[in-house]
Chain A
Amino acid sequence: MTKEKVPNRQTLTSWCRQLDEAHKLGVRTSQTRLVVIKCLSLFSLIIGFYFFSHIAHSWVVNKVHGTHSHIIGLGLALLFAWLLQGVSNHKSLDTKTNTLAKLEKALTAVFANRQHALVRQQTVFYWQSLWQKQLHDVTDWAVEYSVQQAIAVIVPLLALAVIFVVNPVIGAGLLVTLPVVPLFMIIVGKGAAALHQKHFIALSRLGSMFTDRLAALPMLSTFQAHEKQTDLLKEASETLNLRTMKVVSVAFLSNSVLDFFATLSVALVAVFIGFTLLDELNVGPEITLQQGLWILLVVPLLLSEMKRLGQIYHQKAQAESAMEALKPIVASSFCDTEMKDDTVDATQTISAHGENANRFVAEKFAVFDELAEAGQGKNAIVSAQTLTLNKGDCILLSGRSGSGKTLLLEALAGQRRATHRCQWPSIWLTQHPVILPSSVRDNLCLYDRYTDQQLLAMLEKVELSHWLKQLPFGLDTLMTDYPLLSGGEAQRLSIARALLRDRPLWLLDEPTAHLPDEQHHRIAQLIYRLTQDKTVIWASHKALPANWFSGFWHVEHQQVINKHPLSHAEKKEQ
């Protein structure tokens, strides 16, 4: 295994870069392009201010209309500023659309790789918000926030340079009185960070308490606890609000510093220029009205972009929480490249035994926990000295519930990070068979095509012909969200679906666990009969005849051990 070193606390920027490279999102080029366009637009505006102040000078001082060249200059500069702004708007939205499409593709690819092994770990609601909301949050941050961050540094420098050229005294004054750009970045950053974090946390805490009680509505109703809980909720939000206001008042102060300097610098510069023009002050070079007005117009640019950054600060907070959720998942797709290297090992082992496609041998087999940090993830959650599987074997996999039987099966199927994976095409049968709300035919075919004859033959094999005859529209009967199938019938339907696909390896994850004993025996018999020509690994803690099996694996204390057929591997647990 090549060790992938990921620092414990990764910043959003470096994570985004990593993501960008891994999935060829092209975000960085777009970011640079956007920054250049936006800065050019603002620069044109500064030029526009120059011509504007010239015309104003002619009006007020010379009492004539502005010259043609100045008017044309003003027109062109404003036109450029406006057009470039339009281009940057357009580009920014386009980049977002593209990035979102690419991220979505990456996510579905992860789904395809990891399948049920990943999806079963969280609720459907979790995956939906990850998909719909958090991908969007990351994109917003990458395309909007980080671009604005760069602009907020460049534009003030540009403005300051212009002011310096026009009047070094005001320039120097601004440089000294305003505690310089980097310091401002920190103030804005820290101030807004503190504000938003505290505010964000307070709101989400209150929100989670609210949703918590909403989800408990029926329970509260049964226990007649609604009024008591209403009072508690009210009390909690009042104390929380009080506390939040105390914290936020301080956080607002630091945010107001920016507003303070922005406003005061305009006012002071205006007064300074006015007094110099009036000859009341004689510091530095002479100022004309044109120069004074130009400076006055440029000064707000020193801080306006930074203020805009503060306004979209929430994007950073949201992107950070999105990163926490996305990191382990997207990182696991990196692991797939690792895994391919390991499968080379496995194939080598296979060829070393000279029996290639008919035998799967895994020496020092280990399954890893991928949701843990990569650094700690090397601890195996299930391991085995040697696992040997021959074509046509039928293995009983036993162990207490929660001992790791499912993890082992998932690793063999390649849905989990492990040292080896079995390359044979496989079929899964799980405890709860999936019945889609569509027709019986769609449930069997999924995206493949089979003739009606094939379908009927399969249903006959799994003893569902009688059931099918009773359906009003035969194969075209819709299953709906509450399908009219008993647990046994549903499992039979899923066996028929599996049989239609001729795959050599069957992984059975307690397919009869939720069935009453009599049903369990009948379905188990059926599976045994129909899988005679397949390789089967059957996880079960219900009784199964020992003479069905050619091998016995038992999982205990995170270890898979080969057990003798006569031991109590198949002992009933409950």
Chain B
Amino acid sequence: MKNESRPAYITLVLAVVHATAGLSILVISSWFIAISAIAPMGFNYVIPAVVIRGLALLRIASGYASMWVGHKDLLGRIAAVRMDVFSQLHNCQLDDKASSTEALAQHTEVLASKWIAWISPLSSVLFIFTVTCITALWTSLPGAIYLVILYCAWIILLTLQWLSALAIARENTEATSAFRRASSHFLAASPIWHLNSKKNVENAPSAASVWQQQLQQKRKTIHTVWMFQGAAFLLTLLLMAGVLPFAEVAVFAPIALIVPMVLLAAPDWASASFNAVANAAQHQQSSNALDSLNTSPIRHLAEKPVLTSLQLTHFAAKGRSTVPVTINLPAKGVVAISGASGCGKSSLLQAIAGLLPATANGERKVDGHALPEGLVKRWLYVEQEPIILSGSIKMNLDPAGCDISQKSMCELLSALGLDTLLPLTNWVGKSGRQLSGGERKRLALARAVLAEPIVLMVDEPFEGLDIRTQEQVCALLEKEAQRRLVIVASHVLPTALSIDKHVVLEEANVENTGLHERQLA
């Protein structure tokens, strides 16, 4: 993503302080006890005791602060990343619906959590480890060389884990999409499972490969932590056994306890870095996924009033197996498009509105002028399964904030028999009142009518409505048709609807859509 907001240095600094204070307490405490046991002359015990307590308070305070700052930062970041994605998607549509919107939310969360998920834990361990090693060498602490050996082991293990974590994360993405494909086909075939119940269970797709990759990532992390723990224990043992490489001399002073203590506690303070590596791999994957987002842009055309007629020649949506149509539509009145389901009524309407691209030789002409490809302003299409935003009725009726008068909203809703949805402040959608299919259709129709369209296209407006409501919808459509072109696509047409022009779509079949050439080519 281009728009990376500023780094969260405060989170990072607090995390480093928190971790450093933790390790320092352990080291200083053990040294303090040791030196107290032999109590040299004139030993000032007050200072270490105060330092220990001070460090404890510092650790507690920095712990709370880093949590607080980190989460505040996370929330801000999520909002920023999402706004960024959302504005990039301006005038675009996602090619693959349900799964990808959820995945997008997930990816943005991973992306936003990078500071608390991996950058701060990894850098704080890196910082402590490096500083401890340098200090130990600088002050020639007894056994410092062991610390350096552990440091090298840590770097090697971290690198190895990073490499395999990347590969696993990649395979995980592949396994997930393979499972999605297989299970979609499997679940879509549920009406015919009964024909082979037993074999179906045997041949059902399995999520095992997805889980295996997820567990593999975990296994790798745990295994690396375990290897590191082994190395730390081994080095502790060697040091305590008095095995000293090079020309070091065993020193029997309290100071000699520092390195063994750090080594013994290493699994506790350093293992967070390995989890961080796994998170970093995930971050990498999410960032790739967001970069290669499958979208198709929607081109906007300026408002185009229809004065006399809208002509379609050899017109059909691209890529669908439907029969092209050649018709002449009036500037006002109700045009009905009927035909069996699957014959392409919806895709034809969407192509007319410009939501779907049309076939190469298809043309839509307004008053004799051909329109280029694109979405025409104020040519509105009402979907078969309309989308209702989770928000108030008012927001659903006026999503663009055009200051439509509340009076006209209320009047329209009662004309459509939707009085039950009033008042306009009622919350509908996901976290509010659930609407039935018929209510959604009518609400979406009201939204389109309020936007004062030039051409109004309605897809299957009568499905799921009782006769009385159907009549209300018909009356509204007729009223609107006095001022504009209303195109209704439906496989049933109520007798109450007076139609100015009726188009029956031919059903697609092998002969009239050119499958022959395509499959042989």
Contact = CB atoms under 8 A, between A and B. Distances in A.
A477 interface: yes
B211 A97 contact: yes
Interface in A207-233: 207-230, 232-233
Contacts of B203: 447
B515 A267 contact: no
Interface stretch (B4-12, B25-33, B406-414): B25-33
B109 interface: yes
A268 B98 CA distance: 55
Given A217-B89, A263-B22, A484-B510, A52 B298 contact: no
A221 B67 contact: no
B199 interface: yes
Contacts of A210: 82, 86, 104-105, 108
A534 B510 CA distance: 33
Given A71-B240, A208-B431, A248-B71, A487 B341 contact: yes
B508 A225 contact: no
B215 interface: yes
Contacts of A116: 190-191, 193-194
A57 B82 CA distance: 58
A40 B52 CA distance: 32
Interface stretch (B145-153, B250-258, B327-335, B474-482): B250-258
Residue among A55, A218, A516 facing the most chain B CB atoms (10 A cut-off)? A218
Given A211-B104, A264-B56, A434 B72 contact: no
Interface stretch (A6-14, A369-377, A424-432): A424-432
Contacts of B218: 93
A211 B101 contact: yes
B257 A484 contact: no
Contacts of B390: 208-209, 212
B91 interface: yes
Residue among B75, B201, B219, B464 facing the most chain A CB atoms (10 A cut-off)? B75
B176 interface: yes
B63 A259 contact: yes
Interface in A78-127: 78-79, 81-82, 85-86, 89, 93, 96-97, 100-101, 104, 108-109, 111-112, 115-116, 119-120, 123-125, 127
A302 to B, nearest CB: 14
A111 B34 contact: no
Contact of B400 (A111, A223, A471, A483): A223
Interface residues of B, number: 151
Given A75-B237, A256-B67, A432-B191, 5 more contacts: A100-B207, A267-B53, A428-B192, A487-B343, A516-B340
Contacts of A471: 510, 515
Contacts of A288: 37
Given A104-B206, A296-B30, A447 B241 contact: no
A486 B511 CA distance: 12
B375 to A, nearest CB: 7
Contacts of A384: none
Contacts of A135: 207
A233 B188 contact: no
B208 A274 contact: no
B86 A486 contact: no
Contact of A222 (B180, B236, B375, B401): B375
Interface stretch (B162-170, B225-233, B361-369): B225-233
Contacts of A264: 56, 60
B492 A574 contact: yes
23 contacts: A59-B252, A66-B242, A96-B215, A100-B208, A112-B193, A112-B200, A135-B207, A207-B109, A211-B104, A212-B430, A214-B89, A225-B401, A237-B75, A244-B75, A252-B67, A267-B25, A271-B32, A271-B53, A274-B29, A278-B43, A428-B191, A437-B185, A516-B340
B196 A446 contact: yes
A430 B191 contact: yes
Given A116-B191, A124-B187, A482-B321, A65 B52 contact: no
- The interface residues of chain A, by DSSP majority, are classed as helix
B249 interface: no
A551 B410 CA distance: 49
A57 B339 CA distance: 93
A305 to B, nearest CB: 12
Top 9 A-B pairs, shortest CB-CB distance: A270-B29, A486-B507, A289-B37, A225-B400, A267-B56, A225-B399, A447-B199, A119-B190, A277-B36
Nearest to A124: B187
A170 B32 CA distance: 17
A82 B206 contact: no
Given A277-B36, A447-B203, A486-B507, A497 B92 contact: no
Contacts of B320: 482
Interface in A25-81: 52, 55-57, 59-66, 71, 74-75, 78-79, 81
Contacts of B193: 111-112, 115-116
Contacts of B2: none
A249 interface: yes
Contact of A217 (B25, B92, B233, B507): B92
Given A66-B240, A215-B97, A222 B381 contact: yes
Interface in B174-196: 176, 179-180, 183-185, 187-196
Contacts of B22: 263
A209 B87 CA distance: 15
B399 to A, nearest CB: 4
Contacts of A516: 338-340, 491
Given A211-B102, A237-B82, A274-B45, A60 B201 contact: no
Interface string B48-63: 1100110110011001
B3 interface: no
B104 A470 contact: no
Given A61-B38, A224-B400, A259 B60 contact: yes
B516 A470 contact: yes
A97 B29 contact: no
A178 to B, nearest CB: 14
A293 B26 CA distance: 11
A13 B418 CA distance: 45
B340 A486 contact: yes
Given A89-B223, A214-B89, A224-B377, A127 B509 contact: no
Interface in B340-393: 340-343, 353, 355, 375, 377, 380-381, 383, 386-387, 389-391
Interface string B113-141: 00000000000000000000000000000
B160 interface: no
Interface in A462-501: 467, 470-473, 477-478, 482-490, 494, 497-498, 501
Given A56-B260, A66-B241, A501-B195, A115 B190 contact: yes
B184 A124 contact: yes
Given A82-B230, A413-B194, A484-B510, A124 B188 contact: yes
Contacts of B260: 52, 56
B510 A436 contact: no
A266 interface: yes
A234 interface: yes
B340 A519 contact: yes
A222 B353 contact: yes
B253 A60 contact: yes
Contacts of B339: 516
A241 interface: yes
Nearest to A96: B215
Given A63-B252, A116-B193, A256-B60, A125 B98 contact: yes
A93 B213 CA distance: 12
B207 A131 contact: yes
Contacts of B93: 217-218, 221
Nearest to B180: A128
A206 interface: yes
Nearest to A265: B56
B371 to A, nearest CB: 16
B71 A274 contact: no
A52 B240 contact: yes
